Structure 1
Amino acid sequence: MITSTSNATIRSIRSLNNRKYRDELQIGYVEGIRVVRSAIELQSHLIEKIILAPDLLTSASTKQVIQKAQKDDISIIEVSKQVFQKISKRDGPQGIAAIVRQNWTTLEDIIPENNSLWVALASSGNPGNIGTILRTLDAVGGSGIILLGPSADPWDPTSIRASTGAIFNCTLIRSNWSKLKKWAQFNNFSLIGATDEATANYRTIEYPNNTILVMGSEQSGLDIAQKKECSNLVSLPMIGSVDSLNLSVACSIILYEIMSQQMS
Structure 2
Amino acid sequence: MEILSPQNARVKGWAQLQEKKHRDKQNKYVVEGIHLVQEALSSGADIECIAYDMDKGIPFELRQIPDRGQGAEWIGVSHAVISKVSDTPSPQPVFAVVRKEARQWQDLIMRENGLVIVLDGLQDPGNVGTIIRGADAVGAAGVILGRGCADLYNPKTLRSTMGSLFHLPVLEGELLSILPEARERGARLVTTMLEGKRSCFEYDFRGTSWIVIGSEGRGVSPEVAAIVDDAIRIPMPGQAESLNAAMAASVLMYEALRQRHYADTGQ
TM-score, reference length from structure 2: 0.89
Task: Tell me whether 1:25 sits opposite 2:26 in the alignment.
Answer: yes
Counterpart amino acid of residue 169 in structure 2: T
**3-state DSSP of counterpart to 1:43:** coil
Shift of 1:32: 1.2
What displacement does 1:17 show?
Answer: 0.8
Inter-partner Cα distance in structure 2 for 1:228 and 1:87: 43
Q: Secondary structure at the match of 2:199?
A: coil
More moved, 153-162 vs 140-149? 140-149
TM-score by length of 1: 0.90
Shift of 1:127: 1.9
Indicate how the Cα distance of structure 1 residues 208 and 231 shifts in structure 2: closer, same or farther if over 3 A, else same.
farther
Correspondence for 1:97:
95
SS at match of 2:74: strand
Structure 1 residue 14: Cα displacement: 0.9
- Given candidates 115, 118, 126, the residue that maps to 1:117 is 115
TM-align CA RMSD: 2.0
Contiguous gaps of at least 5 residues in structure 2: 263-267
* Amino acid in the other structure paired with 1:14: A
Corresponding residue number in structure 1 for 2:265: none
Correspondence 1:122-133 to 2 at 5 A: 122-133=120-131
CA distance change for structure 1 residues 136 and 68 in 2, over 3 Å: closer, same or farther? same
Residue number in structure 1 paired with 2:67: 68
1:55–1:4 CA distance, 2 compared to 1 (3 A): same
- The answer to whether the 8 A contact 2:52-2:58 is kept is no
Distance in 2, matches of 1:73 and 1:263, equals 39
Q: Secondary structure of the equivalent of 2:41? A: helix
Give the 3 Å change call, closer, same or farther, for CA 216–174 of structure 1 in structure 2: same
SS of equivalent residue, structure 1 residue 61:
helix
How far the C-alpha of 1:92 sits from its partner, in A, is 4.3
| Contact 2:123–2:150, Cα closer than 8 Å, also in 1 | yes
Matching residue's letter, 1:68: D
1:224 paired to 2:222: yes
Offset at residue 56 of structure 1 (A)? 4.4
How many angstroms does 1:94 deviate by?
A: 3.3
More helix by share: 1
**Equivalent residues in 2 for 1:1-264 (5 A)?**
1-44=2-45, 46-56=46-56, 60-65=60-65, 68-69=67-68, 72-90=70-88, 92-110=90-108, 112-264=110-262
Instruction: Show structure 1 runs of 5+ residues with no match.
Output: none
Deviations 1:234-253 (A, max 9, x none): 22222334312221121112
CA deviation map 1:116-151 (0-9, x unaligned) = 111111112122221111111011001211122232
The answer to whether the 8 Å contact 2:183/2:189 transfers is: no
SS of residue in 1 equivalent to 2:189: strand
Aligned 8 A contact 1:103 1:172 in 2: no
Deviation at 1:60, TM superposition (A): 3.6
Q: Which amino acid aligns with 2:259?
A: Q
With over 3 angstroms needed to count, the CA separation of the structure-2 counterparts of 1:86 and 1:181, relative to structure 1, is: closer
Pick closer, same or farther for the CA change 1:58–1:51 going to 2, 3 Å.
Answer: closer
Change (3 A) 1:239 1:58: farther
Letter in 1 for 2:228: C
Percent of residue pairs bearing the same amino acid type: 28
Say if 2:62 and 2:68, in contact at 8 Å, map to a contact too: no
